[in-house]
Amino acid sequence: MRDRPTSLPIRFDAVTYSAGTTAILREVSLSIGAGPPTVLMGPNGSGKTTLLKMAMGLLTPVSGRVDYADQKDQARRHAFVFQKPVMLRRTAARNIAFALKAAGRANDPAVIARLLESVGLGALADRPARRLSGGEQQRLALARALARDPEVLFLDEPTASLDPAATKGVEDIIARTAQAGVKIVMATHDLGQARRLAGEIVFLANGRLLEQMPASTFFTNPATTEARRFLAGELVI
Ligand SMILES: Nc1ncnc2c1ncn2[C@@H]1O[C@H](COP(=O)(O)OP(=O)(O)OP(=O)(O)O)[C@@H](O)[C@H]1O
Ligand SMILES: [Mg+2]
C-alpha cells in the first residue's frame, strides 16, 4: 500500500475545452482523490475520453485549470491504457521490458515474469505481442502500464470488444490493482462493470459534469433526470 499519493487529488476548476466552435467540455469542476476507482460514465460523445486526456495532461484546457496536488513529475506517476492498445513488434516479455526501461526501472527478468504472471500471461512471455488475442493484448497493455509502478492508472473503455471471460480477467486485474493502492480512473459504458468496480461515479452528458457521487448512491438514487434516463437506457445523444 502506498502511504502518500502525491499527484492526488487532481483538481479541475471550470475546465472548458472546445475544437473550433464545438464545445466538448463545459466548465467542468471536480476533484479526483485517492481511494476506490473513479468511473466516468455518460453517453457517446459526452466528453469522457476528453476528460481522461485532460486529467492525464495530454490536453490543455481552453479555459480553466487542471491542478495536481504536487505538480512536479506528475507524468511519471501516471499510466494509461487506451481502448485499442498498440503493441510493439516484439514478444510480450520484451514489451514489458521496454515499458520498464521507459519508466527508468531496472530490467529485471523476475519483475517481468511477475508482471506477466499477474495478468495471466506467464505462459505467453515469448509470443509476439501482435499475435496475442484482443483480450490477451488488453491484459498485456495493463501489465505494461503497471510496469511503470503508477500512482494513478487511467483506463479508457478497457474491456470494450472483449468477451465475458476476458472482461472478467481484466476486471479482476483492475480490482486487484485498486486494492494494492493504485488510483484507478476509468471510462466505461458497461453498467455492470461500473457497479462491480466503481467507488464513485462521474457522470457526464453533453460536455457537462452532472453528477459526482458514491457509486451506490448513483445507481440507486441518481440526482439528475439525465442520469436516470441514462441508467434506464433512454439517454443517447
Ligand atoms: N479534436 C476534436 N475535434 C473535434 N471534435 C472533437 C475532438 N475531440 C473530440 N471531439 C468531439 O467531442 C465530443 C466528446 O468526445 P469524447 O471522445 O470525449 O467522448 P466520449 O464520451 O469519450 O465518447 P465515447 O463514449 O463515444 O467514447 C464528441 O462529440 C467528439 O466528436
Ligand atoms: Mg471515449
Give the residue extent of every domain in the chain.
10-231
d(CA 174, CA 153): 9
* pLDDT of the residue at 1: 46
* pLDDT of the residue at 151: 93
CA-closest residue to ligand 1 atom 6: 19
Query: What would the pLDDT profile of 96-127 be if each residue is shown by its tens digit?
Result: 999 999 999 999 999 999 999 999 999 999 99
Determine whether the shortest distance from the Cβ of 183 to ligand 1 is under 6 A. no
CA-closest residue to ligand 1 atom 13: 45
d(CA 72, CA 56): 13
Find the ligand nearest to 45 CA. 1
**145 pLDDT above the threshold of 70:** yes
Q: Which of the four pLDDT bands, split at 50, 70 and 90, describes residue 233?
A: confident
**5 pLDDT above the threshold of 70:** no
The model's pTM is: 0.93
User: At 201, which amino acid appears?
Assistant: I
Strand partners, 66: 12
Max Cα-Cα span within the chain:
53
* pLDDT of the residue at 32: 97
For ligand 2, the distance from its centroid to the CA atom of residue 123, given in whole angstroms, is 32
Cβ density class 159-172: b for 16+ within 10 Å, e for less: beebeeebbebbbe
The DSSP output letter for 103 is T
Say whether domain 10-231 belongs to CATH 2.40.100.10. Answer: no
Find the ligand nearest to 41 CA. 1
For ligand 1, the distance from its centroid to the CA atom of residue 222, given in whole angstroms, is 24
24 CA closest ligand 1 atom index: 12
* pLDDT of the residue at 217: 97
Please give the average per-residue pLDDT across 27-38, as a whole number: 97
CA-closest residue to ligand 1 atom 7: 19
Residues with CB under 5 A from ligand 2 (ion): 48-49
User: At 103, which amino acid appears?
Assistant: A
For ligand 1, the distance from its centroid to the CA atom of residue 69, given in whole angstroms, is 27
Find the ligand nearest to 44 CA. 1
187 CA closest ligand 1 atom index: 22
CA 224 to chain centre: 25
**3 pLDDT above the threshold of 60:** no
Cβ density class 182-215: b for 16+ within 10 Å, e for less: bbbbbbbebeebbebbbebbbbbbbbbbbbbbeb
